[in-house]
Amino acid sequence: MQGYRSHKCSELTAANVGETVRLSGWVHRVRDHGGILFIDLRDHYGITQVLADPDSAAFAELETVRSEWCIRIDGEVKARAPELVNPKLPTGEIEIFIRDMEVLGASAELPLQVFDEPDFPEETRLKYRFLDLRRETLHNNIILRSNVVKSIRNRMGDQGFNEFQTPIITASSPEGARDFLVPSRQHPGKFYALPQAPQQFKQMIMVAGFDKYFQIAPCFRDEDPRADRSPTDFYQLDLEMSFVEQQDVFDTIEPVLKGLFEEFGNGRPVSQDWPQISYKDAALWYGTDKPDLRNPIKMQVVSEHFAGSGFKIFASLLENEGTEIRAIPAPKGGSRKFCDRMNKFAQGEGLPGMGYIFWRDQGEGLEAAGPLAKNIGPERTEAIRQQLGLEVGDAAFFLGGKPAAFESVAGRARTVIGEELELTNKDSFEFAWIVDFPMYERDEETGRVDFSHNPFSMPQGGIEALDAEDPETILGYQYDLACNGYELISGAIRNHKPEIMYKAFELAGYPNEEVNKRFGGMVNAFTYGAPPHGGCAAGIDRIVMLLANEDNIRQVIMFPMNQRAEDLMLNGPSDPTNEQLRELGLRVIPQED
């Protein structure tokens, strides 16, 4: 007999009846049926029902056992009566009569229950994550994550990529988020940084002549947490390729992700044609650069129907430069009750309200109803209906002003309308590439131009565009991949020519000296025959979150931080000792309340 087990708790079947076996695992559940003790014994692989009666030598000790004790049992495999077979378990045809038992690890009173997975506060779950991870759903999510990463590595290898590791302790390199700084003991007063991404390293790998690179890269950013973002660290599939254009990157990564979602998506359909939508159109149609295409609603500009109309609020708005009116079609939303509910939604978002029109038939043909309809008249409402392709029982909602002020609210309203009217197909994966991102944006308060996305991207039109065009009109070879309302991939064709890089940073207010100071290593590398190259990074955590059908990224991370970026299990961040501070030449200045 093996030391702790002859079989796993998922392996025994009717073919093993009569055998003497040894199992080890955790007590999942204890049931006392008239003097007979039944225990569901669980290990990583599954559950087996074991039992003992007063004739068993182990019965007295077994009576002391409680949930989540770790035990070893020896016993005889018996067939269950036909009416007691559990078809939901691989071991459901058998049970084990216990002859001997050993307690391997007793458990204190549980702060959270594992069996049946009742709801507990997240703070409790994170403090006792080692117990939370025993629960079936979370346990399966972590195994899914492991299998997804394994599949990614195999698929990237099949595409001819080599996996390389880049440094974790490196120099600070601003990439849009706050660095985690690491003080240097050997160089007092200086700091390393944990990498926000392997961006500069992977580009220099291309300069070094390695044609296709990837890694499952840990990235560290001191960010505010969200449901789909960790506040400290995350993992991404990081890849880079030489001698490629934008479409080459798409053609390389699409089969990897399609295969991944088909393999682990539990049969949910995966879109086969991934449209390429400009950033400008995505903002107009969906109010976001990460649209959920499971929702068929597409917003439209309807300014012409309100210009000079009797609805003075919109008519007056349109007299100002840069303003427009947009409509959100709402098929099947044509009731005053639903329209009032959406108006209240807009007020909850900080807007005065949201105008609406709905179309009904009260026996005299099609009629437009609602305050807007009365103000602009039947000809204009009919023109709006035809433009939006709406019918009886449908509605449309309207927002106006400068798009930057209302676009995000319109996008959220589109989401709510799609969900409440059951237009959104929840049981599929819909992908779309968002392309043609603007290279620059202007701060309305300061008037300063800065990069709007990735500063290392190649501008469309090259140096000529940088010399001749208004910075706000310049587009970059930058792209994101959206799936079901989440950004899964971000990438770009890189700016590999020093003269174009200097000019690109100059337009954003960075002199050559500043570029050399911040990115000197990469600029220097580009002076030695840099190839054209590009790549992207895909968020592992978000991919697994979608595949696991979870709404919170902490459900697919083994040991996540809480919303305040605290490790409740190991009590991080912790106070340094005086000796550590002296070694590093640091002093902590107390924060004033």
Dist. CA 193–CA 185, nearest whole Å: 14
Phi/psi for 494 (5° steps) reads -85, 155
Residues making up the chain, counted from first to last: 593
Answer for the pair 162, 566: CB distance below 8 angstroms, yes or no: no
How far apart are alpha carbons 60 and 202 in whole angstroms? 63
Residue 209 identity (one-letter amino acid)? G
Phi/psi of residue 571, nearest 5 degrees: 60, 45
Tokens of 580: 């550590």
Binding-site annotation, residues: 175, 221-223, 453, 487, 494, 539-542
Strand ranges (DSSP E) for 298-455? 300-301, 324-330, 355-361, 366-369, 395-401, 431-435, 440-442, 449-451
Whole-angstrom distance, CA of residue 6 vs CA of residue 3: 8
| Element spanning 486, H or E | strand 486-493
φ, ψ at 35 (rounded to 5°)? 95, -10
Instruction: Return d(Cα 262, Cα 255) in angstroms, integer.
Output: 10
H or E element, residue 24: strand 20-33
Here the tokens at position 40 are: 């569901």
Give the residue ranges of the annotated binding site for L-aspartate: 175, 221, 453, 494
In a 3-state reduction of DSSP, which class is residue 46? coil
Number of C-beta neighbours around residue 30 at 10 A: 16
- 222 DSSP 8-state letter: B
* Contact assessment for residue 98 and residue 51, using Cβ atoms and an 8 Å cutoff: yes
- Residues making up the annotated binding site for ATP are 221-223, 487, 539-542
**Residue recorded with tokens 């019918």:** 391
* 533-569 as b/e: b if 16+ CB within 10 A: bbbbbbbbbbbbbbbbebeebbbbbeebbbeeebbbe
Place of tokens 């319109």: 410
- Residue 203 CA to residue 213 CA, distance in Å, equals 10
Structural Rg of the chain based on CA atoms: 30
* Whole-Å CA distances, 384 to 114, 370, 409, 412, 418: 56, 14, 21, 22, 20
State the amino acid at position 429 in one-letter form.
Answer: F
Pairing type for strands 395-401 and 233-242 reads unpaired
Going from the C-alpha of 391 to that of each of 217, 387, 396, the distances in angstroms are 51, 11, 11
Distance (Å, rounded) from C-alpha 476 to C-alpha 451? 10
Say if residue 457 is exposed, middle or buried (CB neighbours under 10 Å; 0-12, 13-18, 19+): buried
